[in-house]
Amino acid sequence: AEPGRVPAARARRVPDDELERMRLALGWVSDVPPENASQRIALMMLVAVETAMRSGELCSLTWDQVHAKYVRLDQTKNGDARDVPLSRRAAALLALLPRNGESVFGVSDALRDALWRKARKRAEIVGLTFHDLRHEATTRLARKLDVLDLSRMTGHRDLKSLRRYYN
């Protein structure tokens, strides 16, 4: 992309069958505590679809930021802090992770990316990026939240940028 030019919005949706194929490719059995990094990334994927959190936000998430009904992000991509509400499903997924360290998922963004690409190939899914989960989550959440609550949850400062994220 040219400097200063905003890339075209991605309109790719992530159907449930692709999420399921990625879950299987990452080797995670639903509702069982994960045993390795790939399985933790499967949980991360599902939490991303529930919360619209960015990969970097999830990879850097620490247990002191996780509360019963929300996650407190002190530093986000745009520099603002925000509280991300947790659905019952997101809270249940996080509860499966052991609290045996500071990091919630225990993976770096680089490791997440490498294991994601490997699983995507194994699942025979073309072009799915982890960031597509943010778009999918925003689209799903738009059915439940008014536009101002949605922008607060996703951290979008203006409605123009938010509009790029949902169908």
* Pairwise CA distance, residues 139 & 52, whole Å: 9
pLDDT-derived band at 125 (thresholds 50, 70, 90) equals very high
Exactly one of 13, 77, 117, 163 is catalytic; which is it?
77
Is 165 one of the catalytic residues? no
Is 166 one of the catalytic residues? yes
Is 131 one of the catalytic residues? yes
Query: Does the pTM exceed 0.95?
Result: no
Three-state SS string over the chain comes to: CCCCCCCCCCCCCCCHHHHHHHHHHCCCCCCCCCCCHHHHHHHHHHHHHHHCCCHHHHHCCEHHHECCCEEEECCCCCCCCEEEECCHHHHHHHHCCCCCCCECCCCCHHHHHHHHHHHHHHCCCCCCCCCHHHHHHHHHHCCCCCHHHHHHHHCCCCHHHHHCCCC
Q: Give per-residue pLDDT as tens, 36-94.
A: 999 999 999 999 999 989 899 999 999 999 999 999 998 777 777 889 999 999 999 99
Q: Any idea how long the chain is? A: 167
| Residues linked to residue 72 through DSSP beta bridges, in sequence order | 83
Exactly one of 40, 54, 82, 120 is catalytic; which is it?
54
Is 23 one of the catalytic residues? no
Share of the chain above pLDDT 90, in %: 62
In which residue are the tokens 């790029």 written? Answer: 164
Q: Give per-residue pLDDT as tens, 87-124.
A: 999 999 999 999 988 999 999 999 999 999 999 999 99
Output the average pLDDT for the chain: 86
Is 67 one of the catalytic residues? no
Is 134 one of the catalytic residues? yes
E strands in the chain: 70-73, 82-85
Q: Give per-residue pLDDT as tens, 4-43.
A: 655 556 678 899 999 999 999 999 998 899 999 999 999 9
Exactly one of 40, 134, 135, 165 is catalytic; which is it?
134
